[in-house]
Amino acid sequence: MTTAYNSISPKKRTYYCIGKTLQTVRICAILNAVMRMRKRLKIKSKKILRLLLIGCFSAVLVLFCVTAVYWQSQKEEISVCLDAGHGAHDVGAVNGERYEKNDNLRLALLVRDALEEKGVKVYMTRSDDTFLSLQERCDYANRRNCTLFVALHRNSAESGKGVEIWVQNTPGKIDWALAENILFQMESAGISENRGVKTGYVHNPDGNYYVNAHTKMPSCLVEAGFVTSDEDNALFDENLDAYAQAIALGIYETLTDMQSGVLPAEE
C-alpha cells in the first residue's frame, strides 16, 4: 500500500487521504451503530431473562402457597361423616312396612342439618336411597380425612327396646367420649331406655362393626331404638327432631373438646 501511495500524484494523494478518512469514519459509524445495537439487544435480553426468572419464581411461589394452603385446609378441616346405614335393596331391619334404611336416612338428614347450623362441615355417605358397601362407606370417610364418623342405624330383636351405641372393642378416648356424649344427649330427647355404650360387635365382643374397624378416625355406631319395637318406633317418629338435635349436640361437644384439647387430638 505504501508503494502505491508513493507512486500517485500529490493531488491524488489528497483525494486518497480524504477517501480513506471518509471510509474510516463510515466504518467507525457502522461499528458504533452495531455496538449500540448489540448493547441494546443485550440489555433487552437481560430484561427478558430477568422477567422470565421473576415470572418463573412467582409461579413456583404461587403454586407452593396454593398447595400449602390446600394441604393445610385438608389437614385442619373439621368435618363429620354421617353414615345412614343400609340403602336400596339392603333394607336393614323390618317391621311390617317399616324399613330401617328409611329411618336411618331420615335421621341422618336431620342430623346433617343440625350440624351444619352449628357450622360443622358434614359429609354423607348417602343422602338418598342408594346402596354402598361397608368398605365404600369407610373409603368415603377415609378419603376425606373426616374428623369423626357416626353411623346411624336402628336395632332389631325379638324383644328389646332402647338406644345403644357401639364403639370398637379397643376404643380410644375420643370413640368413647363421642358415644357417651351422644347417648347422654339422647337420653333427654325421649327414648325408652338407655342401653349404654357397648364395645365390639353384638354377636362377638372380640369383633367389631365393620365401619368402626375400618374407618381411620374416631367413630361410633348409633342404634337409635328398635325397629322391632312399636314403642321405640312411636318415640322415634315423635321425637325425630329431638333425636337429631341430640346426636348433633353430642358430636359437636366432642369436636369442641377435641379442639380445646380436653380430648387428645391423636390417640
CB of 156 to Zn ion, least distance (A): 7
Q: Which is nearer to Zn ion, 223 or 253 (CB)?
A: 223
Which parts of the chain fold into alpha helices (H)?
Answer: 2-7, 10-76, 100-117, 134-143, 173-187, 210-214, 230-238, 240-260
Structural contact between residues 231 and 182, judged by C-beta atoms closer than 8 angstroms: no
- Pick between residue 99 and residue 252 the one whose CB is nearest to Zn ion: 99
Distance CA 224, CA 213 (A): 20
Give CA–CA dist 143/145, Å, rounded: 5
The closest of 136, 78, 132 to 105, measured between CA atoms, is 132
In the bound state with Zn ion, the residue whose beta carbon lies nearer, of 153 and 161, is: 153
Nearer to Zn ion, 77 or 90 (CB): 90
Q: Looking at residues 10 to 69 of the shown chain, list those that interact with Zn ion (rule: CB under 5 A).
A: none
Rounded to a whole number of angstroms, the minimum distance from the CB of residue 194 to Zn ion is 19
**Grid cell locating 109:** 338428614
Nearer to Zn ion, 112 or 137 (CB): 137
Q: Which is nearer to Zn ion, 85 or 171 (CB)?
A: 85
Pick between residue 81 and residue 177 the one whose CB is nearest to Zn ion.
81
**How many positions of this chain bind Zn ion (CB under 5 A)?**
3
Q: Is residue 153 near Zn ion by the rule CB under 5 A? A: yes
Compute the least distance from the CB of residue 198 to Zn ion, in Å.
15
Residue nearest to Zn ion (CB): 153
Residue type, 182: I
**What is the nearest approach in angstroms of Zn ion to the Cβ of residue 245?**
22
CA atoms within 13 A on the CB side of 41: 6
Q: What is the per-residue binding string for Zn ion in 181-210, x denoting contact by CB under 5 A?
A: ------------------------------
Q: Which of residues 64-103 bind Zn ion (CB under 5 A)?
A: 85, 92
Q: Cα–Cα distance between 196 and 191 in angstroms, integer?
A: 12
Looking at 39-47, 56-64, 124-132, 150-158, which segment touches Zn ion (CB under 5 A)? 150-158
Minimum Å gap between C-beta 100 and Zn ion is: 5
CA distance 180 to 165: 8
Q: 199: part of which helix (H) or strand (E)? A: strand 194-199
Decide if residue 214 touches Zn ion (CB under 5 A).
no
CB of 129 to Zn ion, least distance (A): 15
How far is residue 220's CA from residue 81's CA, in Å, rounded to a whole number?
11
Q: Of 253, 265, 246, 263, nearest to 114 (Cα)?
A: 246
Contact residues: Zn ion, CB under 5 A: 85, 92, 153
